[in-house]
Amino acid sequence: MEKLWNLLRWLDNYLLKLLLITFIFIIPLYPKLPFIDLEYTYISIRLEDFFIGFMLFVFIIQLLRKKVTLRKKFLILFILFWTAVFLSFIFGTYIQKTIQVANIGFLHSARRVEYMIVFFIALSLIKSKSELLQYSKFIFVALFLVSIYGIGQKFLNFPAVQTMNPEFARGHILYLTPEARISSTFGGHYDLAAYLVLLLPLLLSVYLWRKKFLYFVIFLVALFALTLTASRISSIAYIVSISAFLVYLRKWKLLITVLIFSLGLSFLSNNLIARFVKTFQIKQIFVNELTGQVVVPQKISTKELPAGSFYVEIKNKNTSSPVINTTNQGLLNETILSGYRDEARKEGKVLTASEEAQIIATASVNLKPVNTVISDISFATRLQAEWPRAINSFLKNPLLGTGPSSITEATDNDYLRWIGEFGALGTSLFLIIIFSIAKFVWQFKKHEETIYIGFLFGILGLLLNAAYIDVFEASKVAYYFWMISGLFVGSLILKKKQYQA
């Protein structure tokens, strides 16, 4: 009986810490399998939501019992931001009527609180200098496992669970094709890449601090995983943040070494190089002079990133129309016919040669060839649909936006998503929180180990990533960012007290 009481006392003292360690592993490693489906959205409630709810429940109980102390650093800012989010929700639901389904808007609002509440749990659990390194080691073990699993998807046919579209989000077990980008245990390659961008500077900083080569080995494994995601924005964010980090520390030899490895590994991923090459292409397209419709002659395949319809015309000195080359004419014909052939196939018919010739002749009458610089479909979708939609939402209500969930599940630019959904008020408060955390850590840059500098440049990487991806809405990335922020701020609060003592 005494052993049982001792065990219970031990659990009472360490349960929250054990839950946080479990959180460190479960968030990146548990795949995004749906647990409870929600109507009108393909975002589901998952088991980790219940785990976080339980962890919060234990935290509140321990607060009431005074077993832990709520550290109130930045608490007012967080409360102001959450208030702004729910004001946007209320205004969008009941006044503007821009939120079509109230419960989905409410869940989107509550999700912001759920992500960020982890900050205060981690903040309150740091009680000694050594604990930051202890938690960091667990974070790096999880990072290594995530990276290895992602590499296994590429070379060993490990399964994936993705949420990149409504069908995948149902929890289907997928096996990646050779040209597919790895997602490891994350919902998609972008989420995984953002997670790696956040942690790579932190990992390298611990290598410089502790002088253990094992950390550099894990860094290389994670870097290879980042390469296999073939995420262009994350690769750019990584190069900028890691280079700035090493330049700031004047680690010139390590900078050269890291850049050589980064360049070398990138050439092992034909997908990444091909996607960079395809971002902007010089290509002849066809524009309907009556409707303005753009026809891009191309073969669509899973092996290549197709071109979009956003283009900049290359002006010719002579006024005559560009000459249509034979290859382009053939691709144009195939592009025109593909839709008609599909329709005929559905009706059990096959188009004759004369019918196809008539279709091509009719469809080509008003098509004008134009030499252009054309973007890939990913960039074109952002420029032509997602980003204008967010800007229009902001213009409807510059102060509060149109409310959470009002501009679909993705905008692929966090800054535009914030101003569209939360307006200037919510966006300003969110950015103030991030920069206040960074400023607080920056104050200790001359006194502390490189791990704190690594954290700052990890934030820089995420902020760069946010220009092209909704990284702070990606659940696994958001949970980890706020947890790590809480750990670092908690550690520095202790140090500040030591300096003042």
Say whether both 261 and 286 belong to one domain: no
Quick check: 55 pLDDT over 80?
yes
Cα gap 324→364, rounded to integer Å: 12
What are the tens digits of pLDDT across the range 153-180? 999 999 988 877 767 777 788 888 888 8
Considering 328, 353, 378, which residue would you say is the last residue of a domain?
Answer: 378
Say whether both 361 and 431 belong to one domain: no
pLDDT for the residue 318:
64
Say whether both 240 and 317 belong to one domain: no
Number of domains in the chain: 2
Say whether both 53 and 96 belong to one domain: yes
Question: Which of 13-17, 49-53, 136-140 bottoms out in mean pLDDT, i.e. has the lowest?
Answer: 13-17
What are the tens digits of pLDDT across the range 182-235? 999 998 899 999 999 999 999 999 999 998 999 999 999 999 999 999 999 999
What are the tens digits of pLDDT across the range 312-325? 777 776 656 676 76
List the domain range (segments joined by +) for residue 425.
2-272+385-500
pLDDT for the residue 147:
98
Considering 378, 403, 423, which residue would you say is the last residue of a domain?
Answer: 378
What b/e string do you get for 107-143 counting C-beta neighbours within 10 Å, with b at 16 or more?
Answer: bbbebbebbbbbbbbbbbbbeeeebbeebbeebbebb
Cα gap 242→216, rounded to integer Å: 13
Say whether both 308 and 244 belong to one domain: no
Say whether both 230 and 296 belong to one domain: no
pLDDT for the residue 302:
62
Q: Which of 66-75, 135-144, 258-267, 289-298 has the highest mean pLDDT?
A: 135-144
Say whether both 353 and 495 belong to one domain: no
Helices first, then strands: H and E counts in the chain: 17, 4
Say whether both 38 and 141 belong to one domain: yes
Q: Model pTM? A: 0.91
Cα gap 64→473, rounded to integer Å: 31
Say whether both 264 and 289 belong to one domain: no
Quick check: 22 pLDDT over 70?
yes
Say whether both 168 and 208 belong to one domain: yes
Contacts of 167 (CB under 8 A, 6+ apart): none
Say whether both 358 and 288 belong to one domain: yes
